[in-house]
Amino acid sequence: MALPEKMLVEFCLPVYNEENILKANTIKLLDFLNRQNFAFNWLIVIINNGSTDNTAIISRELVGERIKIINFLQKGKGGAIKQYSLTSAADWLIYMDIDLAVSLKNIDDLIKILTDNDYDIVMGSRLLTDSRVERSAARSLSSKIYNNFSRLVLGHKFTDLQCGFKMIRNEVSKKIMPLIKDNNWFFDTELIYIANRQNYHIKEIPVDWSENRYQQRKSKVSLIKDGLKFFKNLIELRIRLTNIMPKKYAGK
């Protein structure tokens, strides 16, 4: 199926205090996308969520025909994505972490699915059989524990809710985002769980994921502190949505 020429795909980069890697990695993404000769319109959107360093200044220097910046005052990756998606005119939103932990080559896997009207959300997974992952043993273990616990509590069949590499049909995004409460890292789990319960079609794809692929960058997620918070959030999410939203779809 041919893609409509007027279709707009936005590559969203939520950033918070990323002055050390923002310019180099945005240019890497821009160079990669320019080489693809996509049969649709596309744009890189830097979504600055409350940075206190030079992120906003660097972002303004990067603005051009293919790059724009959106500034929000409050912190929180999830909150920034929610706010922006509600105003975006794009057909599809692809959001990814600025550290580019997922290989840029996996973007091609997302684009191939644009021709498949069967899916509303496509998400990368670090835990599928064909995924290639380079990360510390501690973080690999924590991801597996969190995913297994989330499957137990939420009753889903997905392998990796938290991978920061997702593509969503924007008309679907506008319906789901107002239902998401978390503005930070639990945002991804809420997004997929709510979409799953509302009968939207979701596909997982394997990714090539490498911790600190280009630059040494300390993760902003605390294994113990955020892990305990995630478990608490899982229970609260299950209770909240079980009461207001009957389950309709079990996932693929």
Task: Give the model confidence (pLDDT) of 8-43 as tens digits.
Answer: 999 999 999 999 999 999 999 999 999 999 989 999
Domains of the chain: 8-244 (3.90.550.10)
pLDDT, position 252: 39
Query: In this structure, what DSSP letter does residue 220 have?
Result: S
pTM of the model: 0.88
pLDDT, position 136: 76
pLDDT, position 208: 96
Element (H, E) at 93: strand 92-96
Contact by Cβ (8 Å): 188, 161:
yes
User: Who has greater pLDDT, 204 or 232?
Assistant: 204
DSSP SS3 for 164:
coil
CA dist., res. 126 & res. 49, Å (int):
26
> Is pLDDT above 70 for 251?
no
pLDDT, position 240: 85
pLDDT, position 227: 66
> Is pLDDT above 70 for 1?
no
Contact by Cβ (8 Å): 131, 208:
yes
Query: CA dist 41 to 11, 145, 157, 168, 172, Å?
Result: 11, 39, 34, 16, 20
Tens of pLDDT, residues 65-98: 999 999 998 889 999 999 999 999 999 999 999 9
Distance of CA 32 to the CA centre of its chain: 19
% of the chain exceeding 90 in pLDDT? 67
Structure tokens at 153: 């509590």
CA dist., res. 113 & res. 170, Å (int):
15
> Is pLDDT above 80 for 249?
no
Q: Are strands 165-169 and 92-96 parallel, antiparallel or unpaired?
A: antiparallel
Which of 120, 212, 210 is CA-nearest to residue 166? 120
CA dist., res. 63 & res. 251, Å (int):
39
pLDDT, position 143: 79
CA dist., res. 82 & res. 236, Å (int):
20
pLDDT, position 248: 53
